[in-house]
Amino acid sequence: MWQMMGSSVRGPAHRRAGQPNQDAWLSRQNRAFALAVIADGLGSRPHAAAGSRAACRAVAEAARAWSAAPGAPPDLLLRLIHALWNIRVHALGAGDSSTTCAFALAVRDGPLLLAQLGDGLVLARCGGDVILLEPPAERFGNTTTGLGIATDLREWRYHLAPRPPGPAAILLATDGIADDLLPDRRLDLLDALIDRHGSMPRGECSRLIGSMLRAWPTPGHRDDKTLAILWRTEALEGQ
Amino acid sequence: MQLKEFTTGAARPLPVILLADVSGSMHADGKIAALNASIRDMLASFATTDDQGAEIHVAIITFGGTAEVQTPLATANTVQWTDLTARGSTPMGKAMELAADLIEDREKIPARAYRPTVVLLSDGQPDPGWENGLTRMTKEGRAQKADRMALAIGADADVDVLRRFVAPATDRLFGAADARRIRDFFNFLTMSVATRTRSVNPNELPPMQDPYDLDRL
């Protein structure tokens, strides 16, 4: 049984400018899969907020189809995400709605797929393995690709674990968080959030994380901030 | 739980790198004096830019006889400025290579930094062998992703080289016919960078307001 927590808050720059939070997140759990998605609408695009929300819904919709087709390659899921997102933002214009997208999808009795398009952070501890997805170091902050920009599926980074046994914990974070984290403390943050807040009712947990994100300590921070965590404490049945 | 246990205490830097021609010809017509006064004013202005935005870091690379990092990259309010003196030839290409080295150094300019602004100022013809520096700044690695601006000082500047430096953003090549216009350019540069630090996304270049009516080449 997977558990989830997360929150998304508007950053100081958008608060000062009277603009909405352009990040979004979504979590879903049903009989077929557990899913957490985050998206960071690109600030320069007029419909970035709608684009990030559309990305979350597109991933959830695509996950339903992909999880029902055991053995289907991740490429098919990613193509479907692009197609569904393009349909959702068609009236607004894909170029005006561009957004990053990252998700963790755990299919029941099936694989765990971690995927990322654009900047931000995906960090997972599965058994003894640590999996890290993040953009190349030769970038600068706030420069990225995303839905509405990428023209090739190879711009996605992903990791597919066939059927990861045992406890697992996954952190998804937009760049407003990821770029300010000390690299060697990221796993500690994941563990601390689960330890301190994992047993709380979900709404209370979300509010508490939101309060923490609003009081972000890095000087001069400005970005919207979104964090989602998916974790499982027990081993899979039969393993 | 204290988030600051897990986060950096440093603001995101917005690097500004000046490549300043201090060859012998800059002595003439008060150009070096105007450049010194302009840089001093710019540093003072950056140092007092409000702290709600990005933290402006400045490096100054000079080329006159030799190319050297005159001011290593540092926050504007910690730079200890000493006036430049003009002498020697114009090793502009070497200066561009030093700038590329700096931009590629991820310790000095981390991935979380905003895109650097690199400003090339020159009043003359570069020494032979400048092409490698231009290639490194405009076609390779992270350096090519920097925002580039250039100022041609006086009538003898090699406008073609400066245009290739800013390409394809040809609207970011300016001209200063005399020392007074160097001050105007620096006022414009200071305003542009300060505007970036206050914008929602400092990587987006703001519309280029130009109250100084600069000459565009």
How large is the ipTM?
Answer: 0.90
Summarize the confidence of residues B11-17 as an average pLDDT.
91
Which residues does B75 contact at the CB level (< 8 Å), separation at least 6?
B13, B55, B56, B57, B58
CATH number of B15-71+89-197: 3.40.50.410
Tens of pLDDT along A156-188?
999 999 887 788 999 999 999 999 999 999 999
pLDDT reported for residue B199: 66
> What is the CB-side half-sphere exposure of residue A212 using CA atoms within 13 A?
22
Q: Does A78 fall in a domain? A: yes
Domain that holds residue A15: 3-227
Q: Give which of A29, A30, A24, A28 is closest to A7, Cα–Cα.
A: A24
Q: What are phi and psi of A140, to 5 degrees?
A: -115, 165
Tens of pLDDT along B64-89?
999 999 999 999 889 988 999 999 99
Residue B3: which of A16, A142, A217 has the nearest Cβ?
Answer: A217
Give the CA-trace dihedral at A169, A39, A137, A194, to 10 degrees.
Answer: -20
CA dihedral sign of residues B143, B144, B147, B149: positive
Residue A72 amino acid letter: A
What CATH number is associated with residue A66? Answer: 3.60.40.10
- Select the residue from B75, B112, B136 to test the A interface by mutation, using most A Cβ atoms within 10 A: B112
Q: pLDDT exceeding 90 applies to what percent of chain A?
A: 81
> Angle at CA B165, nearest 5°, toward B162 and B168?
115
Q: Cβ contact (<8 Å) for A138 and B114? A: no
Please give the DSSP secondary-structure letter assigned to residue A28: E
Residue ranges of chain B whose CB lies within 8 Å of a chain A CB? 1-12, 51-55, 106, 109, 111-116, 141-142, 145, 199-204
Q: Does A29 fall in a domain? A: yes
* Residues on chain B touching A217 (C-beta within 8 angstroms): 2-4, 7, 9
Q: Does A237 fall in a domain? A: no
CA distances from B30 to A91, B16, B34, B42, B180 (A): 58, 24, 6, 18, 9
Rounded-to-integer distance, Cα A203 and Cα A181, Å: 25
- The total number of structural domains in chain A stands at 1
Q: pLDDT exceeding 70 applies to what percent of chain B?
A: 91
